[in-house]
Amino acid sequence: MKKRVVITGMGVVAPNAHGLDNFEEALRGGRSGIRFIPELQELNFACQIGGVPQGFESTRKSYFDHEKLLSLNDNIGYASVSAVDAWTDAGFTMPDSDDDRVDWDTGVIVGSGVGGMDTIAKTVVPMVNEGKVRRMGSRIVEQVMNSGTSARIAGLLALGNQVTSNSSACSTGNEAVIEALWRIRMGLAKRVLAGGSEGASPYIWAGFDAMRVICRKFNDQPEAASRPLSATASGFVPGSGAAVLVIEDLESALERGARIYAEVLGGAVNCGGHRMGGSITAPNPEGVKRCIRAAVSDAAISPEEIDAINGHLTATFADPGEVKNWAAALERTPGNFPYINSTKSLIGHCLGAAGAIECVAVALQLSKGFLHPSVNCEDIHPDITEFKDKIPQKCMDYPELKTIAKAGFGFGDVNSCLIFKKWEE
Amino acid sequence: MDEQGIFSKMVEILRAYTKDPSILDKATMETHILNDLKVNSARLVDVIIKCEDVFGITIEDDDADKIGSIGDAVGIIKIKLG
């Protein structure tokens, strides 16, 4: 029999809130974290808005000593604060740096989509170009290596199981949770801190701006800019931040009397192979459907048990297609379709952090029995009008809510889908 | 600059890289940068760069390799300053 796997701790640094209580309040209130960013205007970006965690400079100073702060760029800073929050939320204490004991049963899988681009852009490139390599100092590699986030977290918490950083574009955060699920099921770890993070940097967002896939029509109305499922959606709003979830073997969680937010019933990842309409930037609909079905099958539930969907839903032309893929994969009609919302409507698309932050939103909704509003879609896209009643425009109390499916689809035609269930004794 | 002046500046430089800066309040010439102050060995590179900036000198790699205690650094800096 498969080991059962649950969520026992969470930490989140999102554009609209830091910390679980604040995040829940922001979700319930439909509070947007999207702001005008003057630097993007100065740099001639078409999109001059973004989702950036507010007041993070003082947050990180309250978490880490002067020595550690020197090595924390945005990406690693968001991840580190989220990890510390998740760890203490799960009932553990922070180890002393002089304490040599290592927790060999706990690992870290926290990745990012692009990573430490701010360090590369602001330090590495100018100093190398000026012939000043000798003066760059010792802190570059640890901030730009792809595993910088997980490595830092392992050191903060003295964790000795597998420590790695995955990367699968916008699917990264979900994929980390699925990797954690598998590792625990295999009996290779008791718990894994899983999640994703992404820095806030024009150098990360520039490529997306150049592709014209990010929102350029709402610079004067930042809070209305992220419009998943809307007829007037005009591209995603870039976001940043991090979230980390403590994914734990149920036995271990029960043994130590941990509070459980939700059960991770199952998950699946795949790739559409850039065929059948898929490409490096677009999903193969067949791949998406297969991934959703595989997750449902792994969870050993039937599709009609799914009460709600937290979609990938970024506010691009792909949203209506995503809704139809869900309907086809779950064999549901508009009449019996699950509720569907987009956390990105509130925080933008946090790239490598998106899946992780949205998994935290899912776990909170399940554990507290509500669905947050999917804002800015009062004008539902004409292709999905018949699903209108299934898209909560206001926060919805939903005490009977049991099962949520969460998906992420990323550049590279990669897909991930998770099935979470409310925890009941 | 006399030895005591260089020593005081070295202590201030090391403050940013020392896990427990209060140890620096009792530092002497014999205090070992890695063993006593628990400065991460990788950060010695940053200490050297900071010294170069503060004292306006260049410390060659061979000289840097000889620095173990605060006194070792003070000695090298004193020679560089002439």
Segment A389-406 shows an average pLDDT of 98
The three-class DSSP label of residue B38 is: coil
B24 interfacial to chain A (CB closer than 8 Å): no
Q: For the segment B21-59, what is each residue's pLDDT rounded down to a tens digit? A: 899 999 999 999 999 999 989 999 999 999 999 999 999
Cβ separation A137–B17 shorter than 8 A? no
Which amino acid does the sequence have at B45?
A: V
The three-class DSSP label of residue A35 is: strand
| pLDDT attached to residue A330 | 98
- Percent with pLDDT over 70 in chain A: 100
Contacts of A266 (CB under 8 A, 6+ apart): A181, A295, A296, A297, A298, A299, A300, A301, A418, A419
Q: For the segment A230-255, what is each residue's pLDDT rounded down to a tens digit? A: 999 999 999 999 999 999 999 999 99
Q: Which residue from A minimizes the CA distance to B42?
A: A138
B45 closest CB neighbour out of A70, A97, A138: A138
Q: Which residues of A are catalytic?
A: 170, 312, 349
Q: Is B1 a residue whose pLDDT tops 90?
A: no
Whole-model pTM: value is: 0.96
Q: What number of other Cβ atoms are within 10 A of residue A333's Cβ? A: 10
Q: Is A305 a residue whose pLDDT tops 90?
A: yes
Size of interface A-B (CB pairs under 8 A): 20
Segment A289-318 shows an average pLDDT of 97
Q: Is B70 a residue whose pLDDT tops 90?
A: yes
- The sign of the torsion formed by the CA atoms of A219, A224, A226, A232 equals negative
B49 interfacial to chain A (CB closer than 8 Å): yes
Q: Is A32 a residue whose pLDDT tops 80?
A: yes
Q: Which residue from B minimizes the CA distance to A66?
A: B16
| pLDDT attached to residue A120 | 96
- The sign of the torsion formed by the CA atoms of A351, A353, A357, A362 equals positive
Min distance B23 CA to chain A CA atoms (Å): 15
Residue A123 and residue A87: Cα distance in Å, rounded? Answer: 32
Q: Is A98 a residue whose pLDDT tops 90?
A: no
| pLDDT attached to residue B19 | 83
Q: Is A158 a residue whose pLDDT tops 80?
A: yes
Segment A281-287 shows an average pLDDT of 95
Q: For the segment A352-386, what is each residue's pLDDT rounded down to a tens digit? A: 999 999 999 999 999 999 999 999 999 999 999 99
Q: What number of other Cβ atoms are within 10 A of residue A69's Cβ? A: 14
Min distance B29 CA to chain A CA atoms (Å): 23
A146 burial via Cβ count (<10 Å: 0-12, 13-18, 19+) = middle
Q: Is A344 a residue whose pLDDT tops 90?
A: yes
Cβ separation A137–B49 shorter than 8 A? yes
DSSP sequence for A342-410: -THHHH-B-GGGHHHHHHHHHHHHHHHTEE----S-SSB-GGGGGGGGGS-SS-EE-TT--EEEEEEEE
Residue A223: DSSP 8-state: G
Backbone torsions φ then ψ of A409, nearest 5 degrees: -125, 130
| pLDDT attached to residue B82 | 85
Segment A180-186 shows an average pLDDT of 98
pLDDT band at A97 (very low <50, low <70, confident <90, very high): confident
* Average pLDDT of chain B, as a whole number: 94
Q: Which residue from A minimizes the CA distance to B43?
A: A138
Least confident of A36-45, A61-70, A247-256, A314-323: A61-70
Residues A337 and A366: beta-carbon distance below 8 Å: no
Q: Is A342 a residue whose pLDDT tops 90?
A: yes
Q: Is A425 a residue whose pLDDT tops 80?
A: no
Min distance A66 CA to chain B CA atoms (Å): 7
Contacts of B61 (CB under 8 A, 6+ apart): none
* Average pLDDT of chain A, as a whole number: 97
| pLDDT attached to residue A101 | 97
Q: Is A116 a residue whose pLDDT tops 90?
A: no
| pLDDT attached to residue A283 | 94
